[in-house]
Structure 1
């Protein structure tokens, strides 16, 4: 297959975050392929954007950096004109987090003096104002993300979050400055800062779509950018020259559907309730029972008898219950359980998979064995329907825990059902 120009190479730190990024690029008109992890097997494609989904958010620092650099090399070898490092719109980073080390390594490898930190996604309630990341109007460290089981948030100012992780300083650009200064004036200020700081990060406020346009105007020419998915529509517009010609692929297919939920976010917990209230059949996995040999077979037996009704299997619980009743090995145990159930469902002929939670989605995607996906329409902002490149009759929807409307599970099943 003759390749077109690869306008953008994107590297995500988990699968749902990567599919989130891919959805914005596809809807903006770039033909987009999402690749699940295996960097050495980038498909021959005429895609204008390739998104590589890694699993580095909570990985050991050294491994996270090595895998990210390998993905960078793979994309640059394909001629990617721009590199975008995608992380969660809630930054999802502890004092020992991987965002700083990865970006430090990228700036050094690519020999660039600065890049941006731009996690905002206003359509999902994430904005940066005065350098502080807000989630639905609440500073990050006071939001429900403070109770995240893997990456509890401890600060709200992006500069404070980066300080213990990165060896380079940060420069904030206020929304007032974005509104009042020209692009040329801001670039001149960056050049002045660079005289005393050979490498640094720029943190622009990003409250609304006008800010996205201004940020894109100033920074889109940089070879390295980083952030959430909120900026990607504007960037895709600039890279493609405003020509939106890509037609998204067919979303619907025949066959049974199943929902897996491992996220413990408030959004996912409510989505489970709404699915149940609408008459959906569901089964909650008991982590302690999973340590018994027959339990998983019992779960699958229950689900298999009800597949025509499109069932939900979930382990989601409140952060309080998780901290009180689950030990450190429980998350890995649940991931393996969902992977096993996904394989059983695939063998039973299930064609539509809907999954909530980053770690759960990664495990299910790996278990299904699909390496690359064509990106279709979105069920919710940042949550696309995906079609495996080597299984055109399958549909996969993977969402980050906090994403999606209350009836998301039913919407995803309806949109993929022929």
Structure 2
């Protein structure tokens, strides 16, 4: 196994798995650490966790369990995959997880590389941008669970990590980069640290792989997965599966601007949609049974069920209890997905990392084949245990406005 990867949520796992496949590596994706005598026959193994919003202590613990399992499987290199828009609160889990993994596999330094230029995430002068807008001024500043309040990666990481970070220009030749790193090591009073390279254009990836591709540990978004995979790969073709003719269901819990635009485009096309009102769910005025009746009446076409809303409305709703609202919505969405699969819906499309995690946990599939991508970082996934099913799980910010329509046409 060339790469053993842990991801902070399920959509993050499917995201990086798709790029490993695109780079030519046989890749398997697991929802959590596999149990029993599982021996993945793959070049890259991705374990999706739920560490993005998990209690920090538990997030670190589950990350180390996954890393040690990958170590037992013979992984040569490790990849800690987190959101390409980072998590800029001081209480974020990226720092503690990366610190713990560095110590566990005993490496002196690694890189912080959240960039994914193909999806508009770039790093310039050590600062993170979303489609050219500083992270803390982008729509991500209003994320309901992990708001983005800064864009300087060194400042962000210094608030979370016990080890220092330093920006390193990718324009440096390899020998000068080595001298830069050595000088930094000599002047700091710590055994470990992070390097923050710039990554503005897709072509920068080649330079980054040249400089850092041999590191035992890499951390970041999925931007380096494909170029890393292409180094010495065996040109394995992506798995191909026939399109399904079953009914389809679209579920959205993401409140990102991108997802809200995708919902609007779906409705504009004439698609049937239903708003799952969190307030009514909490009061008992709305129920899964009622929502399912709407879906069942329209089985001959696709139905979109969404709780996505504007940041302003989300804040008002969360006044009733952020954790309770999130838990109730995730449970209701998972209930609906389970009913749909049991009723013969073999095409399930989900938007939102936490929502996707709740759905996949309920459906109970543990391993996936990775198929064609609907958009960069969003593949069609086919459960190993049930190859009739087609799952598409997207991070809230991914995909163009016609994403749901495209997903329905390709699954």
TM-score by length of structure 2 reads: 0.96
Checking the alignment, whether the CA contact within 8 Å between 2:238 and 2:370 is kept in structure 1 is no
Partner deviation per Cα, 1:130-157 (whole Å, 9 max, x = no partner): 0110011111111111111011111110
376, 380, 385: which one aligns with 2:371: 376
1:58-97 map, 5 Å: 58-97=53-92
**Inter-partner Cα distance in structure 2 for 1:284 and 1:305:** 16
**Cα distance between partner residues in 2 of 1:335 and 1:310:** 21
Measure the CA separation in 2 of the matches of 1:263 and 1:377: 23
Q: Does 1:218 align with 2:216?
A: no
Local SS of the residue matching 1:307: coil
CA distance in 2, matches of 1:394, 1:231: 29
Work out whether residues 126 and 198 of structure 2, in 8 Å CA contact, stay in contact via their aligned partners in 1: yes
Deviation at 1:256, TM superposition (A): 1.2
1:43 Cα offset (Å): 3.3
Size of the aligned set, in residue pairs, is 405
RMSD of the alignment, in Å? 1.3
Provide closer, same or farther for how the CA distance between residues 42 and 289 of structure 1 changes in structure 2, counting only shifts above 3 A: farther
2: CA distance between counterparts of 1:348 and 1:138? Answer: 44
Which residue is 1:146 aligned to?
A: 141
Per-residue CA deviation, residues 288-346 of structure 1 (Å, 9 max, x unaligned), is 22131762211101111112201100000000111123331211110010011011111
Cα deviations by residue, 1:320-376 (Å, 9 ceiling, x for unpaired)? 111123331211110010011011111111101000000110001111110010101
CA deviations over 1:30-71 (Å, ceiling 9, x no partner): 111110013435733321111000000011110000000000
Pairing 1:44–2:35 present: no
In structure 1, the residue matched to 2:125 is 130
**Is residue 43–residue 372 contact of structure 1 (8 Å, CA) maintained in 2?**
no
Deviations 1:7-48 (A, max 9, x none): 101100000011000010111111111100134357333211
**Conserved? CA contact 2:118–2:202, under 8 Å:** no
Where does structure 2 lack aligned partners over 5 or more consecutive residues?
none
1:254 to 225, 235, 245: 245
**Alpha-carbon distance, 1:254 to partner:** 2.8
SS in 2 for 1:20: helix
Deviates more, 1:132-141 or 1:289-298: 289-298
**Superposed CA offset, 1:360-400 (max 9, x none):** 10001111110010101100000000000010111000000
User: SS of 1:309's equivalent?
Assistant: coil
Q: In structure 2, how many angstroms separate the alpha carbons of the residues matched to 1:45 and 1:76?
A: 12
User: Which residue number corresponds to residue 13 of structure 1?
Assistant: 8
194-203 or 14-23, larger mean C-alpha shift: 194-203
Match of 2:181 among 175, 190, 195: 190
Q: Deviations over 1:64-120 (max 9, x none)?
A: 000000000000000000000000110024110000001111111111100000000
Q: Distance in 2 between matches of 1:366 and 1:160?
A: 35
The answer to whether the aligner puts 1:313 opposite 2:305 as a matched pair is yes
By how many angstroms is 1:255 displaced? 1.2
- Cα distance, 1:251 vs structure 2: 5.0
Normalised by the size of structure 1, how large is the TM-score? 0.94
- Contact 2:33-2:69 at 8 Å conserved across structures: no
The residue correspondences of 1:92-241 to structure 2 (distance < 5 A) are 92-174=87-169, 178-179=170-171, 181-197=172-188, 198-238=191-231, 241=232
Q: Deviations over 1:159-187 (max 9, x none)?
A: 0101111111111112xxx23x3212202
For residues 409 and 202 of structure 2, what CA distance do their matches in structure 1 show? 30
Residues in 2 aligned to 1:261 and 1:142: alpha-carbon distance in whole angstroms: 24
Corresponding residue SS for 1:163: helix
1:242 Cα offset (Å)? 4.6
SS at match of 1:322: helix
In the TM superposition, structure 1's runs of 4+ consecutive aligned residues that sit over 4 Å from their partners are none
CA contact (8 A) 2:34 2:366 kept: no
Q: Which residue of 2 aligns with 1:324?
A: 316
Structure 1 unpaired stretches of 5+: 1-5
